[in-house]
Amino acid sequence: MIRKTLKFTLVLSLVLFLPVFAQANNLPEFTELAATAGKSVVFISTEKVADVPTQTEQFRQQIPDGHPFKDFFDRFDQFFGQQPGKQPRKQRGQGSGFVISSDGLIVTNNHVIDGADKVTVHFQGDNSEHPAKIIGQDKETDLAVIKIDLDRPLPVLNFGDSDAIKVGEWVLAIGNPYGLDNTVTAGIISAKYRNLRVGPFDNFLQTDASINPGNSGGPLLNMKGEVIGINSLINAAGQNLGFAVPSNQAKEIIAQLKQGKTYQRGWLGVTIQPVDENQAKALGLEEPTGALIASVGEGQPAAKAGVKQGDVVLEVNGIKVHDSNELLRSIANLKPGEKAKLTLWRNGKEITRTVTLGQRGEKAMASMQPVPPKQASNVLGMSVKPISKKEAAALGLGSAHGLLVVQVDPNAAASDEGVRQGDVIVQANQQDVNTPAELEAVIQRDKKRGAVMLLIKRQGQNLFVALPLEDQ
């Protein structure tokens, strides 16, 4: 009986093991891909001279006012002249890159070479240093193109389709982590379209292929040997959490950077925020979707086309916009001067407006920066009162318009949704409110919607907040 049991157990173990063994035999082979692609991956080293505080100056900065040493240094300066507080010091950095043209164009991350006085490139198995010139930089996507001049054609890597790659597919990362040149790691695509909130156009591929400091700028390859991402970020608090700029996002940007041009992006001239569930109810939307226009800059492209504060952008040129990040990316993918047909949600119905886009840039963005800020009744857990001219002036508001939030009940929905003392409620469900009675009237009128959306001014910024009305 015991022999039969052992025999059965052995047979069952073999049956269970066979599929695992078969799967192991089907694992991908990376050797040829690593050998071929590695010839195009480079080790980038940088140098720059920066002024850093001297040790004496660092010590001096830590001395509190009134301390005897403070008087000592002041008297020392009187007799011998003020000593230099900073001294030039050479700083070194390193990263990775890959060749995209046989004549020496190389892609890397902007943060690898930004501000460098000297950039040099090393190839696999070559101890020679090749000086590189910075051709183009795009800080908003952290991409850059550099160039070296050699008397021979270089092996190149081609871009693949990052939209086509699927979560779970095998990928290979090649780079120079911690200065260990041509390190190869393998893994899978863990996720797509990651927004890490490190830049305005976050859309990262996530991979568990090991990526470390020094991998920045190196390629993330599919099994065809195509670049489907540029390795850019790691999560220092976790393991096997690497992030790459998708190739489809990078290709057009790099095409302009390699010509020495600044990448030009479209510009609406609005501030936007996502639509949450309560805001969707207040606006009469079936679901929280689109991008809510928090403010429209005076004289900006959107204003000229008739876009208004409180509109929700549902589509751009017929393509659905799911959230504010998608709107930002879709507009930035268009060129200045191009037309963008916006499908908007306004007052419970869809309308369209066509905007001739401006150019995104520091000057345009600066024009949208807010100007520093210009007996209560209880409504929805908020103590509110008409704002006085003196209060409006103290807050930097142009006129005494709206309701000042004097206090917020910490147990009320208003507190949960982020309403603060000192906020000024300008509108409720897109209607101006200047008295508590006007606010109450809007709430009663639209009670069936289940939520009320407030337009709030806070430190010069416009912000929409939706409060539920179920318990009213």
Catalytic residues: 111, 142, 216
Residue 136 known to bind ligand: no
Residue 290 known to bind ligand: no
Residue 214 known to bind ligand: yes
Q: For the chain, how many residues are written?
A: 472
Residue 236 known to bind ligand: yes
State the DSSP H helix or E strand holding residue 301, giving kind and residue range, or none if neither. Answer: helix 301-304
Q: List, as one string, the DSSP characters of 2-50.
A: HHHHHHHHHHHHHHHHHHHHHHHHTSPP-HHHHHHHHTTEEEEEEEEEE
The structure tokens listed for 83 are 């000593």
For residue 15, what are the CA distances in angstroms to 19, 26, 402?
8, 18, 75
Residue 47 known to bind ligand: yes
| Residue (of 211, 234, 231, 212) closest to 221 by Cα position | 231
Residue 109 known to bind ligand: no
Residue 143 known to bind ligand: no
413 C-beta neighbours (distance < 10 Å), count = 21
Q: CA dihedral defined by 33, 34, 37, 41, rounded to 10 degrees?
A: 160
Residue 411 known to bind ligand: no
> How far, in Å, CA of 280 to CA of 436, rounded?
24
Q: List, as one string, the DSSP characters of 88-132.
A: EEEEEEEEEEEE-STTSEEEEEHHHHTT-SEEEEEETT----EEE
CB 472 within 8 A of CB 449: no
Residue 142 known to bind ligand: yes
Triad 332, 44, 232: Cα angle to 5°: 40
Q: Please report, in range form, the residues annotated as the binding site.
A: 47, 111, 142, 214-216, 232-236
Binding site residue list for substrate: 47, 111, 142, 214-216, 232-236
